[in-house]
Structure 1
Amino acid sequence: MNKLSSADRARVLHLLCEGMSIRAVVRTTDISKNTIAKLLVDAGKACAAYHDEHVRGVQAKRVQVDEIWAFTHCKQKNVATAKASPDDAGDVWTWTAIDADTKLVLAYLVGGRDAEYANAFMLDVADRLKGRVQLTSDGHKPYLEAVEGAFGADIDFAVLQKTYGTAPEAKQGRYSPPICTGAIKRQIEGQPDPEHVSTSYVERQNLTMRMHMRRFTRLTNAFSKKVENHAYAVALHFMYYNFVRVHAKLRVSPAMAAGITDRLWEISDIVALVEARDAGPAKRGSYKKSVRHPV
Protein backbone atom coordinates (compact mmCIF):
# COMPACT_ATOMS: atom_id res chain seq x y z
CA MET A 1 0.00 0.00 0.00
CA ASN A 2 2.74 2.46 0.94
CA LYS A 3 4.50 1.77 -2.37
CA LEU A 4 1.66 3.26 -4.40
CA SER A 5 2.35 6.75 -5.66
CA SER A 6 -0.23 9.51 -5.26
CA ALA A 7 -0.94 9.28 -9.00
CA ASP A 8 -1.60 5.53 -8.75
CA ARG A 9 -3.88 6.06 -5.77
CA ALA A 10 -5.81 8.71 -7.65
CA ARG A 11 -6.16 6.43 -10.68
CA VAL A 12 -7.46 3.53 -8.59
CA LEU A 13 -9.95 5.67 -6.66
CA HIS A 14 -11.20 7.29 -9.86
CA LEU A 15 -11.89 3.90 -11.42
CA LEU A 16 -13.73 2.72 -8.30
CA CYS A 17 -15.80 5.92 -8.20
CA GLU A 18 -16.81 5.45 -11.84
CA GLY A 19 -18.33 2.03 -11.20
CA MET A 20 -15.55 -0.49 -11.79
CA SER A 21 -15.29 -3.50 -9.53
CA ILE A 22 -12.14 -4.21 -7.56
CA ARG A 23 -11.23 -7.14 -9.81
CA ALA A 24 -11.72 -4.97 -12.90
CA VAL A 25 -9.42 -2.36 -11.40
CA VAL A 26 -6.86 -5.10 -10.73
CA ARG A 27 -6.94 -6.12 -14.39
CA THR A 28 -6.75 -2.50 -15.57
CA THR A 29 -3.97 -1.27 -13.31
CA ASP A 30 -2.03 -4.49 -12.53
CA ILE A 31 -2.20 -3.54 -8.83
CA SER A 32 -2.93 -6.31 -6.33
CA LYS A 33 -6.46 -6.85 -5.04
CA ASN A 34 -5.40 -6.52 -1.40
CA THR A 35 -3.71 -3.19 -2.07
CA ILE A 36 -6.81 -1.82 -3.80
CA ALA A 37 -9.09 -3.11 -1.05
CA LYS A 38 -6.94 -1.47 1.61
CA LEU A 39 -6.91 1.80 -0.31
CA LEU A 40 -10.69 1.68 -0.50
CA VAL A 41 -10.92 1.20 3.28
CA ASP A 42 -8.46 4.03 3.97
CA ALA A 43 -10.24 6.35 1.55
CA GLY A 44 -13.64 5.48 2.99
CA LYS A 45 -12.49 6.30 6.50
CA ALA A 46 -10.97 9.62 5.42
CA CYS A 47 -14.04 10.60 3.38
CA ALA A 48 -16.48 9.70 6.16
CA ALA A 49 -14.49 11.78 8.65
CA TYR A 50 -14.33 14.76 6.30
CA HIS A 51 -18.04 14.61 5.50
CA ASP A 52 -18.94 14.35 9.18
CA GLU A 53 -16.89 17.43 10.04
CA HIS A 54 -17.57 19.74 7.10
CA VAL A 55 -21.06 19.02 5.75
CA ARG A 56 -22.83 21.00 8.48
CA GLY A 57 -24.82 24.19 8.76
CA VAL A 58 -26.41 23.59 5.34
CA GLN A 59 -29.12 26.12 4.52
CA ALA A 60 -31.46 23.88 2.55
CA LYS A 61 -35.10 24.64 1.81
CA ARG A 62 -36.31 21.27 0.51
CA VAL A 63 -34.91 17.92 1.62
CA GLN A 64 -35.85 14.45 0.38
CA VAL A 65 -35.00 11.17 2.14
CA ASP A 66 -35.08 7.54 1.03
CA GLU A 67 -33.46 4.13 1.54
CA ILE A 68 -31.84 1.86 -1.03
CA TRP A 69 -31.42 -1.90 -0.67
CA ALA A 70 -28.34 -4.05 -1.16
CA PHE A 71 -26.86 -7.09 0.58
CA THR A 72 -23.54 -8.25 1.97
CA HIS A 73 -22.05 -11.76 1.89
CA CYS A 74 -25.35 -13.29 0.69
CA LYS A 75 -29.02 -12.44 0.30
CA GLN A 76 -31.18 -12.53 3.42
CA LYS A 77 -33.04 -15.69 2.36
CA ASN A 78 -29.72 -17.58 2.11
CA VAL A 79 -28.17 -16.47 5.41
CA ALA A 80 -29.37 -19.53 7.35
CA THR A 81 -27.72 -21.98 4.95
CA ALA A 82 -24.69 -19.89 3.94
CA LYS A 83 -21.27 -21.18 4.89
CA ALA A 84 -19.56 -19.16 7.65
CA SER A 85 -21.84 -16.16 7.21
CA PRO A 86 -21.02 -13.22 9.53
CA ASP A 87 -23.59 -11.77 11.91
CA ASP A 88 -24.28 -8.81 9.63
CA ALA A 89 -24.79 -10.87 6.45
CA GLY A 90 -27.94 -10.33 4.42
CA ASP A 91 -29.92 -7.20 3.70
CA VAL A 92 -28.21 -3.84 4.15
CA TRP A 93 -29.87 -0.48 3.56
CA THR A 94 -28.34 2.90 2.78
CA TRP A 95 -30.34 5.87 4.05
CA THR A 96 -29.78 9.11 2.14
CA ALA A 97 -30.93 12.73 2.46
CA ILE A 98 -30.53 15.10 -0.48
CA ASP A 99 -31.02 18.84 -0.87
CA ALA A 100 -33.47 19.16 -3.77
CA ASP A 101 -31.98 22.49 -4.91
CA THR A 102 -28.21 21.95 -4.70
CA LYS A 103 -28.39 18.13 -5.06
CA LEU A 104 -26.00 17.85 -2.11
CA VAL A 105 -26.24 14.58 -0.19
CA LEU A 106 -26.52 15.91 3.35
CA ALA A 107 -26.35 12.66 5.26
CA TYR A 108 -26.13 8.92 4.72
CA LEU A 109 -26.25 5.86 6.96
CA VAL A 110 -25.57 2.19 6.23
CA GLY A 111 -27.37 -0.44 8.28
CA GLY A 112 -30.82 -1.86 8.89
CA ARG A 113 -34.21 -0.45 7.96
CA ASP A 114 -35.82 -0.42 11.39
CA ALA A 115 -36.82 2.38 13.76
CA GLU A 116 -33.42 2.46 15.47
CA TYR A 117 -31.64 3.33 12.25
CA ALA A 118 -34.41 5.74 11.23
CA ASN A 119 -33.98 7.66 14.49
CA ALA A 120 -30.20 7.80 14.18
CA PHE A 121 -30.42 8.90 10.56
CA MET A 122 -32.94 11.69 11.12
CA LEU A 123 -31.03 13.01 14.13
CA ASP A 124 -27.96 13.25 11.90
CA VAL A 125 -29.94 15.01 9.16
CA ALA A 126 -31.33 17.54 11.64
CA ASP A 127 -27.86 18.18 13.05
CA ARG A 128 -26.51 19.15 9.61
CA LEU A 129 -29.25 21.60 8.67
CA LYS A 130 -29.59 25.28 9.50
CA GLY A 131 -33.07 26.77 9.61
CA ARG A 132 -36.50 25.34 8.91
CA VAL A 133 -36.86 22.99 5.93
CA GLN A 134 -39.54 21.12 4.04
CA LEU A 135 -38.95 17.36 4.26
CA THR A 136 -40.46 14.64 2.10
CA SER A 137 -40.17 10.90 2.75
CA ASP A 138 -41.83 7.84 1.34
CA GLY A 139 -44.40 5.85 3.31
CA HIS A 140 -41.87 3.97 5.43
CA LYS A 141 -43.50 4.13 8.90
CA PRO A 142 -40.35 4.60 11.06
CA TYR A 143 -39.91 8.05 9.49
CA LEU A 144 -42.95 9.40 11.34
CA GLU A 145 -41.55 8.94 14.83
CA ALA A 146 -37.95 9.61 13.76
CA VAL A 147 -38.75 12.99 12.17
CA GLU A 148 -40.77 14.06 15.19
CA GLY A 149 -37.96 13.06 17.53
CA ALA A 150 -35.31 14.89 15.50
CA PHE A 151 -37.18 18.07 14.52
CA GLY A 152 -40.21 18.32 16.77
CA ALA A 153 -42.62 20.90 15.34
CA ASP A 154 -39.85 22.90 13.64
CA ILE A 155 -40.33 21.35 10.22
CA ASP A 156 -42.72 21.16 7.28
CA PHE A 157 -43.02 17.41 6.79
CA ALA A 158 -45.01 15.47 4.20
CA VAL A 159 -45.17 11.84 3.09
CA LEU A 160 -45.47 10.74 -0.52
CA GLN A 161 -47.24 7.36 -0.38
CA LYS A 162 -47.00 5.52 -3.70
CA THR A 163 -49.31 2.67 -4.67
CA TYR A 164 -48.21 -0.18 -6.90
CA GLY A 165 -49.88 -2.79 -9.07
CA THR A 166 -48.68 -5.76 -11.09
CA ALA A 167 -47.44 -5.36 -14.64
CA PRO A 168 -49.67 -6.56 -17.48
CA GLU A 169 -49.23 -10.26 -18.15
CA ALA A 170 -47.69 -9.60 -21.55
CA LYS A 171 -44.96 -7.48 -19.94
CA GLN A 172 -44.28 -9.69 -16.93
CA GLY A 173 -40.88 -11.27 -16.52
CA ARG A 174 -38.88 -12.81 -13.76
CA TYR A 175 -37.45 -9.45 -12.67
CA SER A 176 -40.28 -7.14 -13.72
CA PRO A 177 -40.66 -4.30 -11.18
CA PRO A 178 -44.14 -3.39 -9.90
CA ILE A 179 -45.98 -0.63 -11.72
CA CYS A 180 -46.62 2.64 -9.87
CA THR A 181 -50.37 3.27 -10.15
CA GLY A 182 -50.59 6.48 -8.13
CA ALA A 183 -49.24 8.63 -5.30
CA ILE A 184 -50.91 10.19 -2.28
CA LYS A 185 -49.47 13.30 -0.59
CA ARG A 186 -50.04 13.45 3.17
CA GLN A 187 -49.26 16.47 5.35
CA ILE A 188 -47.71 15.32 8.63
CA GLU A 189 -46.27 18.43 10.30
CA GLY A 190 -46.22 22.17 9.58
CA GLN A 191 -47.27 23.61 6.22
CA PRO A 192 -45.41 21.79 3.43
CA ASP A 193 -45.91 23.16 -0.08
CA PRO A 194 -47.83 20.46 -2.03
CA GLU A 195 -46.00 21.36 -5.24
CA HIS A 196 -42.69 20.35 -3.67
CA VAL A 197 -43.84 17.14 -1.98
CA SER A 198 -41.65 14.81 -4.02
CA THR A 199 -38.99 12.11 -3.73
CA SER A 200 -37.86 12.32 -7.37
CA TYR A 201 -34.38 13.69 -6.68
CA VAL A 202 -33.49 11.22 -3.95
CA GLU A 203 -34.79 8.34 -6.06
CA ARG A 204 -32.64 9.57 -8.95
CA GLN A 205 -29.72 9.56 -6.52
CA ASN A 206 -30.44 5.86 -5.92
CA LEU A 207 -29.81 5.26 -9.62
CA THR A 208 -26.58 7.25 -9.43
CA MET A 209 -25.44 5.01 -6.59
CA ARG A 210 -26.16 1.86 -8.60
CA MET A 211 -24.30 3.28 -11.61
CA HIS A 212 -21.24 4.44 -9.67
CA MET A 213 -20.84 1.63 -7.14
CA ARG A 214 -20.43 -1.86 -8.52
CA ARG A 215 -21.57 -3.32 -5.20
CA PHE A 216 -25.08 -2.01 -5.81
CA THR A 217 -25.46 -3.51 -9.29
CA ARG A 218 -28.27 -6.07 -9.37
CA LEU A 219 -27.93 -9.69 -10.54
CA THR A 220 -24.13 -9.83 -10.34
CA ASN A 221 -21.48 -11.26 -8.02
CA ALA A 222 -20.06 -7.78 -7.29
CA PHE A 223 -21.71 -7.49 -3.87
CA SER A 224 -19.73 -6.64 -0.74
CA LYS A 225 -18.48 -9.49 1.39
CA LYS A 226 -18.20 -7.31 4.51
CA VAL A 227 -20.63 -4.61 5.61
CA GLU A 228 -17.68 -2.44 6.69
CA ASN A 229 -16.26 -2.38 3.17
CA HIS A 230 -19.74 -1.65 1.84
CA ALA A 231 -19.96 1.39 4.12
CA TYR A 232 -16.49 2.60 3.10
CA ALA A 233 -17.44 2.36 -0.58
CA VAL A 234 -20.55 4.44 0.16
CA ALA A 235 -18.46 7.08 1.96
CA LEU A 236 -16.04 7.32 -0.98
CA HIS A 237 -18.91 7.57 -3.45
CA PHE A 238 -20.60 10.46 -1.68
CA MET A 239 -17.33 12.37 -1.33
CA TYR A 240 -16.81 11.95 -5.07
CA TYR A 241 -20.43 12.86 -5.86
CA ASN A 242 -20.58 15.90 -3.57
CA PHE A 243 -17.15 17.42 -4.22
CA VAL A 244 -15.59 16.05 -7.43
CA ARG A 245 -18.32 15.22 -9.90
CA VAL A 246 -19.85 18.15 -11.82
CA HIS A 247 -23.63 18.00 -11.77
CA ALA A 248 -24.90 18.15 -15.35
CA LYS A 249 -27.65 20.68 -14.63
CA LEU A 250 -25.88 22.81 -12.02
CA ARG A 251 -22.57 22.94 -13.95
CA VAL A 252 -20.78 22.83 -10.58
CA SER A 253 -20.42 20.21 -7.88
CA PRO A 254 -23.22 19.94 -5.28
CA ALA A 255 -20.78 21.05 -2.57
CA MET A 256 -20.04 24.23 -4.54
CA ALA A 257 -23.74 24.88 -5.09
CA ALA A 258 -24.35 24.50 -1.34
CA GLY A 259 -21.48 26.83 -0.44
CA ILE A 260 -19.44 24.18 1.38
CA THR A 261 -16.45 24.66 -0.91
CA ASP A 262 -15.50 27.41 -3.35
CA ARG A 263 -13.82 25.24 -5.96
CA LEU A 264 -14.17 21.95 -7.79
CA TRP A 265 -12.20 19.13 -6.19
CA GLU A 266 -10.09 16.58 -8.01
CA ILE A 267 -9.43 12.95 -7.14
CA SER A 268 -6.00 14.07 -5.97
CA ASP A 269 -7.72 16.02 -3.19
CA ILE A 270 -9.27 12.82 -1.87
CA VAL A 271 -5.85 11.19 -2.05
CA ALA A 272 -4.52 14.11 0.00
CA LEU A 273 -7.10 13.34 2.68
CA VAL A 274 -5.98 9.72 2.77
CA GLU A 275 -2.30 10.62 2.95
CA ALA A 276 -2.90 13.20 5.67
CA ARG A 277 -4.77 10.59 7.68
CA ASP A 278 -1.98 8.05 7.13
CA ALA A 279 0.66 10.54 8.21
CA GLY A 280 -1.05 11.31 11.52
CA PRO A 281 0.10 14.03 13.93
CA ALA A 282 3.75 14.94 13.83
CA LYS A 283 5.90 14.16 16.84
CA ARG A 284 6.98 17.11 18.95
CA GLY A 285 10.14 18.71 17.55
CA SER A 286 9.95 16.83 14.24
CA TYR A 287 9.65 18.33 10.78
CA LYS A 288 6.90 17.30 8.42
CA LYS A 289 5.92 18.58 4.99
CA SER A 290 2.55 20.30 4.91
CA VAL A 291 -0.27 18.55 3.07
CA ARG A 292 -2.43 20.69 0.81
CA HIS A 293 -5.89 21.06 2.31
CA PRO A 294 -8.65 20.41 -0.25
CA VAL A 295 -10.77 23.42 0.76
Structure 2
Amino acid sequence: MNRLPIEKRAQIIGLLVEGMSMRAVTRMVGCSINTVTKLLEEVGFACNMYQSEHLRNLPCKRVQCDEIWAFCYSKEKNVSREDKGVLGHGDVWTWTAIDAESKLIVSYQVGKRDAEYAQMFMADVAGRLANRVQLTTDGHAPYLQAVGDAFGSEIDYAMLVKHYGAGSVTDQRRYSPAHLIATELRPINGNPDAKHISTSYVERQNLTMRMGMRRFTRLTNGFSKKVENLEHAVSLHFMHYNFCRVHKSLRVTPAMEAGLTDHVWTLEEVAALAD
Protein backbone atom coordinates (compact mmCIF):
# COMPACT_ATOMS: atom_id res chain seq x y z
CA MET A 1 0.00 0.00 0.00
CA ASN A 2 1.29 3.47 -0.88
CA ARG A 3 2.18 5.59 2.14
CA LEU A 4 1.58 9.33 2.28
CA PRO A 5 4.65 11.57 2.56
CA ILE A 6 5.39 12.73 6.09
CA GLU A 7 4.47 16.30 5.14
CA LYS A 8 1.02 15.23 3.94
CA ARG A 9 0.45 13.16 7.08
CA ALA A 10 1.45 16.13 9.23
CA GLN A 11 -0.97 18.34 7.30
CA ILE A 12 -3.86 15.92 7.94
CA ILE A 13 -2.97 15.67 11.64
CA GLY A 14 -2.85 19.47 11.89
CA LEU A 15 -6.33 19.79 10.45
CA LEU A 16 -7.73 17.09 12.72
CA VAL A 17 -6.34 18.59 15.94
CA GLU A 18 -7.76 22.00 15.00
CA GLY A 19 -11.28 20.59 15.03
CA MET A 20 -11.94 19.89 11.36
CA SER A 21 -14.19 16.95 10.50
CA MET A 22 -12.71 13.98 8.65
CA ARG A 23 -14.82 14.61 5.54
CA ALA A 24 -13.66 18.23 5.48
CA VAL A 25 -10.05 17.04 5.77
CA THR A 26 -10.48 14.79 2.75
CA ARG A 27 -11.73 17.73 0.71
CA MET A 28 -8.91 19.98 1.88
CA VAL A 29 -6.02 17.61 1.20
CA GLY A 30 -7.49 15.62 -1.71
CA CYS A 31 -7.32 12.10 -0.29
CA SER A 32 -9.90 9.45 0.52
CA ILE A 33 -11.80 9.11 3.79
CA ASN A 34 -10.24 5.66 4.22
CA THR A 35 -6.77 7.21 4.10
CA VAL A 36 -7.65 9.75 6.79
CA THR A 37 -9.29 7.08 8.96
CA LYS A 38 -6.30 4.77 8.63
CA LEU A 39 -3.90 7.57 9.56
CA LEU A 40 -5.99 8.48 12.61
CA GLU A 41 -5.94 4.85 13.75
CA GLU A 42 -2.18 4.49 13.32
CA VAL A 43 -1.17 7.82 14.84
CA GLY A 44 -3.78 7.69 17.60
CA PHE A 45 -2.58 4.25 18.68
CA ALA A 46 1.06 5.40 18.58
CA CYS A 47 0.27 8.54 20.60
CA ASN A 48 -1.47 6.48 23.25
CA MET A 49 1.46 4.10 23.53
CA TYR A 50 4.00 6.94 23.69
CA GLN A 51 2.18 8.82 26.43
CA SER A 52 1.47 5.64 28.37
CA GLU A 53 5.20 4.94 28.43
CA HIS A 54 6.61 8.44 28.96
CA LEU A 55 4.09 10.13 31.26
CA ARG A 56 5.56 8.44 34.33
CA ASN A 57 7.15 9.55 37.61
CA LEU A 58 5.56 12.99 37.23
CA PRO A 59 6.46 15.57 39.92
CA CYS A 60 2.94 17.01 40.18
CA LYS A 61 1.73 18.80 43.30
CA ARG A 62 -1.92 19.53 42.50
CA VAL A 63 -4.11 17.44 40.20
CA GLN A 64 -7.68 18.08 39.04
CA CYS A 65 -9.98 15.41 37.55
CA ASP A 66 -13.22 15.55 35.60
CA GLU A 67 -15.31 13.66 33.05
CA ILE A 68 -16.59 14.97 29.72
CA TRP A 69 -19.54 13.56 27.79
CA ALA A 70 -19.77 12.46 24.17
CA PHE A 71 -21.64 9.71 22.35
CA CYS A 72 -20.88 6.96 19.85
CA TYR A 73 -23.00 5.37 17.14
CA SER A 74 -26.23 7.00 18.38
CA LYS A 75 -27.63 9.06 21.21
CA GLU A 76 -28.39 7.06 24.36
CA LYS A 77 -32.15 7.30 23.89
CA ASN A 78 -31.87 5.72 20.42
CA VAL A 79 -29.73 2.73 21.42
CA SER A 80 -31.42 -0.59 20.61
CA ARG A 81 -32.42 -2.90 23.44
CA GLU A 82 -29.73 -5.50 22.64
CA ASP A 83 -26.99 -2.83 22.65
CA LYS A 84 -28.01 -1.13 25.91
CA GLY A 85 -25.02 -0.91 28.25
CA VAL A 86 -22.49 -1.85 25.55
CA LEU A 87 -19.57 0.58 25.38
CA GLY A 88 -19.61 2.27 21.98
CA HIS A 89 -23.40 2.59 21.83
CA GLY A 90 -24.78 5.78 23.32
CA ASP A 91 -23.12 7.80 26.07
CA VAL A 92 -19.33 7.66 26.30
CA TRP A 93 -17.31 9.57 28.87
CA THR A 94 -13.68 10.68 28.77
CA TRP A 95 -11.99 10.90 32.17
CA THR A 96 -9.16 13.44 32.39
CA ALA A 97 -6.58 14.44 35.00
CA ILE A 98 -4.60 17.68 34.65
CA ASP A 99 -1.62 19.03 36.57
CA ALA A 100 -2.70 22.46 37.84
CA GLU A 101 0.82 23.90 37.55
CA SER A 102 2.26 22.55 34.29
CA LYS A 103 -1.23 22.09 32.69
CA LEU A 104 -0.06 18.64 31.57
CA ILE A 105 -2.75 16.04 30.96
CA VAL A 106 -1.47 13.37 33.34
CA SER A 107 -3.95 10.65 32.37
CA TYR A 108 -7.08 10.12 30.30
CA GLN A 109 -9.50 7.27 29.75
CA VAL A 110 -12.47 6.68 27.45
CA GLY A 111 -15.28 4.56 28.87
CA LYS A 112 -18.39 4.59 31.01
CA ARG A 113 -19.07 6.88 33.94
CA ASP A 114 -19.32 4.13 36.53
CA ALA A 115 -17.38 2.72 39.47
CA GLU A 116 -15.42 0.22 37.37
CA TYR A 117 -13.95 2.88 35.10
CA ALA A 118 -13.41 5.22 38.06
CA GLN A 119 -11.27 2.51 39.67
CA MET A 120 -9.20 1.97 36.52
CA PHE A 121 -8.76 5.68 35.94
CA MET A 122 -7.63 6.58 39.45
CA ALA A 123 -5.28 3.58 39.55
CA ASP A 124 -3.67 4.87 36.35
CA VAL A 125 -3.38 8.41 37.75
CA ALA A 126 -1.75 7.12 40.95
CA GLY A 127 0.72 5.04 38.94
CA ARG A 128 2.01 8.10 37.07
CA LEU A 129 2.78 10.34 40.05
CA ALA A 130 6.12 10.58 41.82
CA ASN A 131 4.94 12.02 45.13
CA ARG A 132 1.96 12.88 47.30
CA VAL A 133 -0.42 15.34 45.63
CA GLN A 134 -3.50 17.36 46.40
CA LEU A 135 -6.36 15.99 44.32
CA THR A 136 -9.65 17.71 43.50
CA THR A 137 -12.60 16.08 41.74
CA ASP A 138 -16.24 16.96 41.25
CA GLY A 139 -18.92 15.33 43.38
CA HIS A 140 -19.23 12.16 41.27
CA ALA A 141 -19.76 9.42 43.90
CA PRO A 142 -17.53 6.64 42.39
CA TYR A 143 -14.46 8.83 43.02
CA LEU A 144 -14.71 8.21 46.77
CA GLN A 145 -13.96 4.50 46.64
CA ALA A 146 -11.68 4.77 43.60
CA VAL A 147 -9.39 7.40 45.16
CA GLY A 148 -9.21 5.47 48.43
CA ASP A 149 -8.27 2.24 46.68
CA ALA A 150 -5.69 3.89 44.42
CA PHE A 151 -3.94 6.18 46.91
CA GLY A 152 -4.81 4.88 50.34
CA SER A 153 -3.86 7.51 52.91
CA GLU A 154 -1.13 9.03 50.72
CA ILE A 155 -3.34 11.76 49.24
CA ASP A 156 -4.78 15.14 50.17
CA TYR A 157 -8.18 14.80 48.56
CA ALA A 158 -11.21 17.06 48.34
CA MET A 159 -14.38 17.25 46.30
CA LEU A 160 -15.76 20.45 44.78
CA VAL A 161 -19.53 19.95 44.63
CA LYS A 162 -21.52 22.40 42.52
CA HIS A 163 -25.25 22.91 43.04
CA TYR A 164 -27.29 24.04 40.04
CA GLY A 165 -30.79 25.40 39.63
CA ALA A 166 -33.20 25.43 36.72
CA GLY A 167 -32.71 27.99 33.96
CA SER A 168 -35.00 30.97 33.78
CA VAL A 169 -36.07 30.31 30.19
CA THR A 170 -37.32 26.74 29.97
CA ASP A 171 -37.31 26.34 26.19
CA GLN A 172 -33.65 27.42 25.97
CA ARG A 173 -32.34 25.08 28.66
CA ARG A 174 -31.02 22.69 26.03
CA TYR A 175 -28.59 25.31 24.74
CA SER A 176 -27.69 27.20 27.91
CA PRO A 177 -25.88 25.98 31.04
CA ALA A 178 -27.85 25.60 34.25
CA HIS A 179 -27.61 28.40 36.80
CA LEU A 180 -24.93 27.79 39.43
CA ILE A 181 -26.44 28.30 42.88
CA ALA A 182 -23.54 27.41 45.19
CA THR A 183 -20.28 25.49 45.48
CA GLU A 184 -19.37 23.24 48.39
CA LEU A 185 -15.83 22.27 49.42
CA ARG A 186 -15.68 18.75 50.89
CA PRO A 187 -12.30 17.64 52.33
CA ILE A 188 -12.25 13.85 52.10
CA ASN A 189 -8.76 12.69 53.02
CA GLY A 190 -5.53 14.15 54.33
CA ASN A 191 -5.15 17.92 54.66
CA PRO A 192 -6.09 19.60 51.37
CA ASP A 193 -5.42 23.34 51.12
CA ALA A 194 -8.80 25.05 50.75
CA LYS A 195 -7.49 27.73 48.39
CA HIS A 196 -6.42 25.03 45.92
CA ILE A 197 -9.66 23.03 45.97
CA SER A 198 -10.67 23.78 42.41
CA THR A 199 -11.59 22.14 39.11
CA SER A 200 -11.23 25.29 37.01
CA TYR A 201 -8.27 24.09 34.95
CA VAL A 202 -9.73 20.69 34.10
CA GLU A 203 -13.09 22.26 33.21
CA ARG A 204 -11.30 24.72 30.92
CA GLN A 205 -9.64 21.70 29.34
CA ASN A 206 -13.12 20.38 28.56
CA LEU A 207 -13.67 23.44 26.39
CA THR A 208 -10.34 22.86 24.65
CA MET A 209 -11.45 19.30 23.87
CA ARG A 210 -14.78 20.42 22.44
CA MET A 211 -13.04 23.05 20.30
CA GLY A 212 -10.24 20.73 19.15
CA MET A 213 -12.19 17.55 18.39
CA ARG A 214 -15.17 17.58 16.06
CA ARG A 215 -16.54 14.49 17.82
CA PHE A 216 -17.07 16.45 21.04
CA THR A 217 -18.97 19.36 19.52
CA ARG A 218 -22.49 19.50 20.88
CA LEU A 219 -25.48 19.07 18.53
CA THR A 220 -23.23 17.68 15.82
CA ASN A 221 -23.43 15.03 13.10
CA GLY A 222 -19.65 14.56 13.35
CA PHE A 223 -19.87 11.96 16.12
CA SER A 224 -17.82 8.76 16.24
CA LYS A 225 -19.34 5.66 14.72
CA LYS A 226 -16.88 3.42 16.61
CA VAL A 227 -15.56 3.95 20.11
CA GLU A 228 -12.07 2.92 18.94
CA ASN A 229 -11.95 5.94 16.64
CA LEU A 230 -13.00 8.19 19.52
CA GLU A 231 -10.14 6.76 21.59
CA HIS A 232 -7.66 7.42 18.76
CA ALA A 233 -8.91 11.00 18.37
CA VAL A 234 -8.56 11.61 22.12
CA SER A 235 -5.02 10.20 22.18
CA LEU A 236 -3.99 12.37 19.21
CA HIS A 237 -5.59 15.44 20.78
CA PHE A 238 -3.72 15.05 24.07
CA MET A 239 -0.44 14.29 22.32
CA HIS A 240 -0.78 17.55 20.40
CA TYR A 241 -1.91 19.43 23.52
CA ASN A 242 0.88 18.11 25.75
CA PHE A 243 3.80 18.23 23.32
CA CYS A 244 3.00 20.52 20.36
CA ARG A 245 0.74 23.33 21.49
CA VAL A 246 2.37 26.25 23.31
CA HIS A 247 0.26 27.16 26.34
CA LYS A 248 -0.67 30.83 26.29
CA SER A 249 0.18 31.58 29.92
CA LEU A 250 3.18 29.24 30.23
CA ARG A 251 4.81 30.29 26.92
CA VAL A 252 5.94 26.66 26.52
CA THR A 253 4.13 23.36 26.02
CA PRO A 254 2.82 21.50 29.10
CA ALA A 255 5.34 18.71 28.42
CA MET A 256 8.20 21.21 28.46
CA GLU A 257 6.92 22.76 31.69
CA ALA A 258 6.77 19.28 33.24
CA GLY A 259 10.32 18.47 32.09
CA LEU A 260 9.32 15.71 29.67
CA THR A 261 10.88 17.32 26.59
CA ASP A 262 13.18 20.21 25.74
CA HIS A 263 11.44 21.52 22.61
CA VAL A 264 8.09 22.12 20.96
CA TRP A 265 7.21 19.04 18.95
CA THR A 266 6.34 19.41 15.29
CA LEU A 267 3.43 17.64 13.61
CA GLU A 268 5.98 15.69 11.59
CA GLU A 269 7.38 14.27 14.84
CA VAL A 270 3.90 13.21 15.91
CA ALA A 271 3.25 11.61 12.53
CA ALA A 272 6.59 9.76 12.72
CA LEU A 273 5.50 8.02 15.95
CA ALA A 274 3.40 5.67 13.82
CA ASP A 275 6.52 4.54 11.93
TM-score (norm: length of structure 2): 0.96
Q: Tell me the distance in 2 between the aligned counterparts of 1:70 and 1:171.
A: 22
Distance in structure 2 (CA, Å) of the matches to 1:253 and 1:211: 18
SS of the equivalent of 2:4 reads: coil
Q: Which moved more, 1:202-211 or 1:168-177?
A: 168-177
Q: d(CA) in 2 for partners of 1:172 and 1:18? A: 29
Compared CA separation, residues 220 and 144, structure 1 to 2 (3 A): same
What is the aligned partner in structure 2 of residue 198 from structure 1?
Answer: 198
* Separation (CA, whole Å) in 1 of partners of 2:118 and 2:157: 15
Identify the residue that residue 256 of structure 1 maps to in structure 2: 256
Query: 1:225 Cα deviation (Å)?
Result: 0.1
Q: Is 2:120 aligned against 1:134?
A: no
Which residue in the other structure is 1:8 paired with? 8
Match of 1:122 in 2: 122
Distance in 1, Cα, partners of 2:176 & 2:16: 29
Greater Cα shift, 191-200 or 1-10:
1-10
In the TM superposition, what are the counterparts of 1:1-295 in structure 2 within 5 Å? 2-80=2-80, 88-169=88-169, 172-275=172-275
Question: AA paired with 1:114?
Answer: D
Give secondary structure in 1 for the equivalent of 2:198.
Answer: coil
Structure 1, unaligned stretches of length 5 or more?
276-295
- Per-residue CA deviations over 1:67-121 (Å, capped at 9, x if unaligned) read 00000000111002799x9763111000000000000000000000100000000
Q: Answer whether contact 1:60 1:133 (CA < 8 A) is retained.
A: yes
Q: Is the 8 A contact 1:74 1:82 kept in 2?
A: no
List per-residue Cα deviations over 1:22-57 (Å, max 9, x = no partner).
000011011100000000000011000000000011
8 A contact 2:87–2:112 mirrored in 1: no
Over residues 240-273 of structure 1, what are the superposed CA-to-partner deviations in whole Å (9 max), with x where a residue is unaligned?
0000000000000000000011111010111111
DSSP-derived class of the 1:52 partner: helix
Q: Is the 8 A contact 1:214 1:222 kept in 2?
A: yes
CA pair 140-166 structure 1, distance change in 2 beyond 3 A: same
Unaligned 5+ segments in structure 2 are: none
Secondary structure of the corresponding residue to residue 250 of structure 1:
coil
Q: Read off the aligned partner of 2:238 and give its amino acid letter.
A: F
Shift of 1:220: 1.1
When residues 56 and 71 of structure 1 are mapped into structure 2, their CA distance, relative to the original with a 3 A threshold, is: same
Q: Secondary structure at 1:58's aligned position in 2?
A: coil
Aligned to 1:287: none
TM-score, normalisation: structure 1: 0.90
The structure whose Rg is larger is 1
How many residues align structurally?
Answer: 274
